[in-house]
Chain A
Amino acid sequence: MTSLGHRHYGVGVPKFFWSHIWGEVLETKQDGGTAVETAATPQPNSWFATQSLKARVLLIVGAVTTLAFMIFSAKIRSTIVTVVVAVAVCAGIWIGANLLFDQSRERWQRFQSLVFAVLGAVVGIIIHGNGLTLGSEGGFFSWILGPLVGGLAFGALGYFLAGTEDAQQRLTVSVAGMAVVGLGIGLLLREQYQPGVDWVATIVYTLVFAGIGAGLRVLTNRPWQSGVYLGATLGWLLGFWAGADVGDGNVGTAILGAVVPAVLVGIHVGQTRNPDYAGRVQLDQTSRAWIFLGPGLLFIMVMLVIPAIRTAYLSLLDRDSESFVWFDNYKATFTDKASWDASNWTNMFTSWPFLIGVAVLVIAALIGFRQKELTGRAVELGNPTVVPLIAGFLFVCFGVFTAMRGTIINNLWWVVAVTFFSTAIGLAVAVLADGRGGEKIAKSIIFMPMALSLVGASIIWRFVYQTRDISKEQTGIANALWIGLGKLSTGSGIPTILGMVVLGIIVAVCASFMGQSLVRRAYGRAAVPGIALIFFGWIFIRYTQIIGGGIGGFKTNANGETVGETIVFVQESPYNNFWLMVILIWIQVGFSMVILSAAIKAVPTELIEAAQIDGATDSQVFWRITLPQIAPTIVVVVTTLIVLVMKVFDIVKVVTNGQFGTQVLANDMFQQAFNNLNIGRGAALAMLIFLSVLPVMVFNIRRMQEEV
């Protein structure tokens, strides 16, 4: 893959956060690390030939499969024909426009006649092609005739205009020419299209648009006259034609309707002058830019910008978009119990995540005081307050989320949990696997879920979460493990004892680490093993049934049978939310791992070596050097994940469809808009999603602005 090798031209090398990432990814992914090229210029030889054998074979297989598909499937055939035709037409227009503007610098007269001819042809197509004028019933021929006549007429006009510099002459030619064109259109217009005029509308529209045109010109520091002419033209067309009762008029009104706007345009054109050479160069440059940008920007406008504006507008209308309700849709969303239900908020204080969270936060506070005495700072990267603080905060959040329910709360929960766990696990794998054997394989297996569709991933996890009656054998691995653990803890055979021994060792190791730290008077360092000790100790106690039943309430009854409950993962609210989040975490860990891993590899080794020579431990190196160095990348990962999670849809849709208290904004929006057909409410929800990611978007854009 040598053509990818030169790092100077790696994708997006100079800008934004992936600058170093891609560089690194390239390097780590290269076959045997041999392909780093030092050549300063890229080699434009056949890309195909530079591919590895494997890639070439795969490309050929792909091409053959596609061909086979084409032959057997009419759908694919027609699709490919569509694509080829569309691309060819676009390319034709595009190349034509380029050739046309090639003329503009040196051959002004030819250029202007051609441009006018094109415009005339377009007018001809619109009028004649739509069958508005006489003689347009001739099928294909009428599609030729209209543009031909229009093109010739306008082309001639353009030719004469470009041929003279005299202002008076230009005005005369232009106005007379346009008047003839308007007269022709009015005379040729079919009787059933002759308009019965609404004069009030015509006058009002003409005046208003003329005013707008003039205003726009003044605002952009240009003479206002031409704005009046063009605005009046548009106003006249709208007021006279769109406001008229079509078919009620006569030849006179038809002529009037066509001649007035034509003459107005004529006046505007006649008042312009032929540009000098510098002007033409300017025109060439600008138009060239628009030719290149045009198709892309057109798609963006039609598919993104205008619909987004329209959604904002629709969100202020009622369910059938018939009358304004202003902010009622938003109000309804926030007052709906389904989206925001805080009535049970007192349950929070009895929920176990909240209690654990508070306990852990208390530990964090104690350590914080101790740290303040020792180092003068309670919280600092790398000091032992950090882990309990984060864990406690997370647990408290979960306590709040389980007590207060609703769509918006669910979304917040998704954001907190998925963002945190994806980043944390991704970072952990990136750090732990760094430089170890099998790093590549491990990372590509963890990254693999990124290739799957969210629907596919949801289906995979549906099978994991399958639940059957306790009396039957479980087919979902999650419940099988759960029941297995329960049975193990209540059993009496060798596996049970083995489990006890393993748990015992873990407890002992945690205790010894904690004891060691306490003996050394490093009280802060005792925190993490201490928390682990509480956790595993609790499991150990439940497992050995010293107090109460076994794990998960499993017991042995009088007949010696195991009694217990399966977990219905997707239905037991509120924790089913978390089981859904696990799916997205499973996918996104790969993403954060790859990005953070690349960032870690980009940390200068001198820094780390210097620290190690000074006697820093590995955890100090991580907290004090690696983490601050990769902090910007972590910010990028976190913001990216927040935006992604706010829009989460597929998982909820496929696994629960929002039932059992798992509704999220995006699925709510889909249901409201497309199932309940409540357009106003759906649009309001879409806007809410948009507004909630807006701050993050703005933040990212400002970053980018700094770097571009």
Chain B
Amino acid sequence: MSSTSSLSPGIASDAPEAALGRTGRWYAFIRSIPTWIVWLIVIVWSIPSLGLFVNSWRTRDAQTSTGWWAVNVDELTFDNYDQIFSARNSIWDSLANSFAIALPATIIPIAFAAFAAYGFAWIDFKGRKGLFIATVSLLAIPLQVALIPLLQLYVGGAKWTLPLLDKTITLVPDFDLAGETTAVWLTHTGFAMPFAIFLLHNYISSLPKDLFEAARIDGADHFTIFWRLVLPLSVPVLAAFGIFQFLWTWNDYLIANTMVGSNPDAHPTTILIANLAGDFGRNEHILPAAAFVQAFIPLVAFFALQRFFVRGMLAGSVKG
């Protein structure tokens, strides 16, 4: 890397270069090498996705006989998309499941985390700092750690066997959530909470103190301040978190596969395409189309709301 960075300009200033005699065409060419390298990386980076996209419009025969770069107009077809949106492989159901997971898993944490973030930021109580650090330190816990007990909780509730006695008492009844999308979004809600509290707290605690003092002098209580002042001011951060969380839950595979992997009726899109990829060969031709449909919503969010998106992603990258 240093061979190129030694040529990179940083911030170009003409005076020392002229003094050193660094002029002329050859030098200009050398100076442009970093740009070429960047664009080379860009091309390499976009080729895999481009290949998938092109293949999703090609017929089965074309896909299995030649590479996507050999595409010609005759082989273009809607058939792959027709197939995934109809009949056996209907992607509609799994799209609905993905929404059924991602919507509650986005909305509910926003509400609860906003409460908690406000509590941590603007209500004085004993042990506030310690509790906040404890909460936030849960942020990077690998979610694998909680999966087995959570699945057990959803399958059979929680029971406790009394020591010395041969008796069990039910702590949490069996709600029969195994295989339901409810189990998935409940899990996401729990896992999102430390991160959401952290992100919203950072923002809410940086709101100007004068605002709160003025409101309190006017007789507003915590509830009013939260509802009338903090929530409207926090919309940008709520949006950033919302987008991150929506994409996280939309793109999640591990939790969904653990909680609803056994129930095909509740499969979200990620499981659908993973399963399509799993049954070697038979559905290979509709896989690109399905994968593209799965990625469509994240991509729209990416291109349309890049600002929120970047912020949400940056903040969320530390999440467990």
Chain B: residues with Cβ within 8 Å of the partner, total of: 153
CA gap between A285 and B125 in the complex, in Å: 7
Which residue of chain A has its CB nearest to the CB of B19? A615
Do A453 and B112 have beta carbons less than 8 Å apart? no
Question: What is the bound-complex CA distance between A454 and B248, given in angstroms?
Answer: 10
**Whole-angstrom distance between the Cβ of B265 and the nearest chain A Cβ:** 9
Q: Are A11 and B41 in contact (CB under 8 A)?
A: no
B residues 175-233 near A (Cβ < 8 Å) are 181-182, 186-187, 189-191, 193-194, 196-197, 199, 202-203, 205-208, 211, 221-223, 226, 229, 232-233
Is the C-beta of B138 less than 8 angstroms from some C-beta in chain A? yes
B84 contacts chain A at the CB level, 8 A cutoff = no
A307 touching B273 by the CB < 8 A rule? no
- State whether A618 touches B5 (Cβ < 8 A): yes
Given known contacts A451-B298, A462-B277, is B305 in contact with A432 (CB within 8 Å)? no
**Chain A stretch 674-708: residues in CB contact (< 8 A) with chain B:** 674, 679, 682-683, 685-687, 689-690, 693, 696-697, 700-701, 704-705, 708
Cβ-based interface call for B76 (8 A): no
**Of A1-9, A120-128, A183-191, A349-357, which stretch is located at the interface?**
A1-9
| B167:A242 contact, CB within 8 angstroms | yes
Are A79 and B99 closer than 8 Å at their CB atoms?
yes
Q: Does B18 contact A (CB under 8 A)?
A: no
Q: Does B164 contact A (CB under 8 A)?
A: yes
Q: Which residue of B lies closest to A612 (CB)?
A: B13
Closest to B99 in A: A76
The A506-533 residues at the B interface (CB cut-off 8 A) are 513, 528-529, 532
- Is there a chain A Cβ closer than 8 Å to B27's Cβ? no
CB distance from B195 to the nearest CB of A (A): 11
How far apart sit A700 and B136, CA to CA, in the bound complex (Å)?
A: 11
**Are B145 and A307 within 8 A (Cβ)?**
yes
Q: Residue A42 at the B interface, CB < 8 A?
A: yes
Q: Does A26 contact B (CB under 8 A)?
A: yes
Q: Which of A291, A303, A605 contacts B146 (CB 8 A)?
A: A303
Pair A646/B142 contact, Cβ less than 8 Å: yes
Supposing A12-B202, A461-B48 touch, asked if A296 and B193 sit within 8 A by C-beta, the answer is yes
Contacts of A11 in B (CB 8 A): 199, 202-203, 236-237, 240, 311, 315
Stretch at the interface among A13-21, A271-279, A337-345, A363-371: A13-21
List residues of chain B with CB within 8 A of the CB of A687. Answer: 145
Contact A292 B11 (CB under 8 A): no
The answer to whether A242 touches B52, judged by C-beta atoms less than 8 angstroms apart, is no
Q: Which chain B residues numbered 88 to 120 have a C-beta less than 8 Å away from chain A? A: 92-93, 95-97, 99-100, 103-104, 107-109, 111-113, 115-116, 118-120
Q: Hey, which chain B residues are within 8 Å of A704, CB to CB?
A: 133, 136
SS of B interface (majority): helix
Those of B225-272 within 8 Å (CB) of chain A: 226, 229, 232-233, 235-237, 240, 247, 250-254, 257-258, 261, 270
| Distance, CA A589 to CA B1, complexed state (A) | 15
Q: Which of A310, A438, A591 contacts B149 (CB 8 A)?
A: A310
| Interface residue A207 (Cβ < 8 Å from any Cβ of B) | no
**Which residues A1-47 have CB closer than 8 A to chain B?**
1, 3-4, 8-9, 11-16, 18, 21-22, 25-26, 29-30, 41-42, 44, 47
Contacts of A474 in B (CB 8 A): 67
Q: How far is the CA of A669 from the CA of B187 in the complex (A)?
A: 18
Chain A residues positioned under 8 Å from B34 (CB to CB):
432-433, 436
Distance A285 CA – B141 CA, assembled complex (angstroms): 31
Task: State which residues 416-447 of A face B: CB under 8 Å.
Answer: 424-425, 427-429, 431-438, 442, 444-447
A456 and B191: CB pair below 8 A?
A: no
CA distance in complex: A701, B135 (Å): 11
Q: Once the chains bind, are B135 and A456 in contact (CB under 8 Å)?
A: no
User: Interface of chain A, helix or strand or loop or mixed?
Assistant: helix
**Roughly how many angstroms separate A16 CA and B136 CA in the complex, as a whole number?**
12
**Bound: A460/B55 CA distance, A:** 10
Q: Does A346 contact B (CB under 8 A)?
A: no
Contacts of A66 in B (CB 8 A): 99
Is the CB of B87 closer than 8 A to any CB of chain A?
Answer: no
Residues of A within 8 A of B77 (CB): none
Interface membership of A335, Cβ < 8 A: no
Partner of B298, one of A307, A453, A640, A701: A453
Judging by beta carbons under 8 Å apart, are A701 and B206 in contact? no
A83 to B306, CA, bound (A): 27
CB-defined contacts of A619 to chain B, threshold 8 Å: 2, 5-8
Chain A residues with CB under 8 Å of B251's CB are 452-456
Chain A residues with CB below 8 A from B119, complex form: 288-289, 291-293
Q: Looking at the assembled complex, report how far the CB atom of A227 sits from the nearest CB atom of chain B, in whole angstroms.
A: 20
Q: Which of A155-209 contact B (CB under 8 A)?
A: 198, 201, 204
What 0/1 readout, one digit per residue, does chain B (274-313) give for beta carbons within 8 Å of chain A?
A: 1001100000000110010011001111101111011101
Which of A131-139, A258-266, A648-656 contacts the other chain?
A: A648-656
Interfacial chain B residues near A501, Cβ < 8 Å: none
Within the complex, the shortest CB–CB distance from B5 to chain A, in Å, comes to 5
Q: Which B residue sits closest to A617, measured CB to CB?
A: B6
With a cutoff of 8 Å between Cβ atoms, the chain B residues found around residue A98 in the complex are 221-223
Q: Is the CB of A297 within 8 A of B149?
A: no
Is B73 an interface position by the 8 A CB rule? no
Answer yes or no: B3 CB below 8 A from chain A CBs: yes
Q: Return chain A residues, CB-CB under 8 Å to B203.
A: 9, 11-13
A80 touches B149 (CB 8 A): no
A432–B33 alpha-carbon span in the complex (Å): 9
Instruction: State the CA gap A242–B164 with chains docked (Å).
Output: 12
B108 and A83 form a contact (CB under 8 A)? yes
Tell me the bound Cα distance from A397 to B38 in angstroms.
28
CB of B8 within 8 A of CB of A456, answer no
A553 to chain B, nearest CB (A): 22
Is A234 among interface residues, defined by CB-CB distance under 8 A?
no
Q: Is B165's CB within 8 Å of the partner chain A?
A: yes
Among B63, B65, B66, B140, residue most surrounded by chain A Cβ atoms (within 10 Å):
B140
Give chain B residues whose Cβ lies under 8 Å from the Cβ of A475: 63-68
Q: Are A622 and B10 in contact (CB under 8 A)?
A: yes
**Least distance between B134 CB and chain A CB atoms (Å):** 9
Contact A432 B8 (CB under 8 A): yes
Q: Are B162 and A243 in contact (CB under 8 A)?
A: yes
Q: Chain B nearest CB: distance from A616 CB in Å? A: 9
> In the complex, are the beta carbons of A304 and B194 less than 8 A apart?
yes
* Residue A90 at the chain B interface, CB threshold 8 Å: yes
6 smallest beta-carbon distances between A and B, as pairs: A303-B190, A292-B119, A453-B251, A12-B202, A296-B116, A619-B6
7 A-B pairs in the complex with CB atoms less than 8 angstroms apart: A79-B100, A285-B123, A291-B115, A307-B148, A460-B48, A473-B65, A476-B67
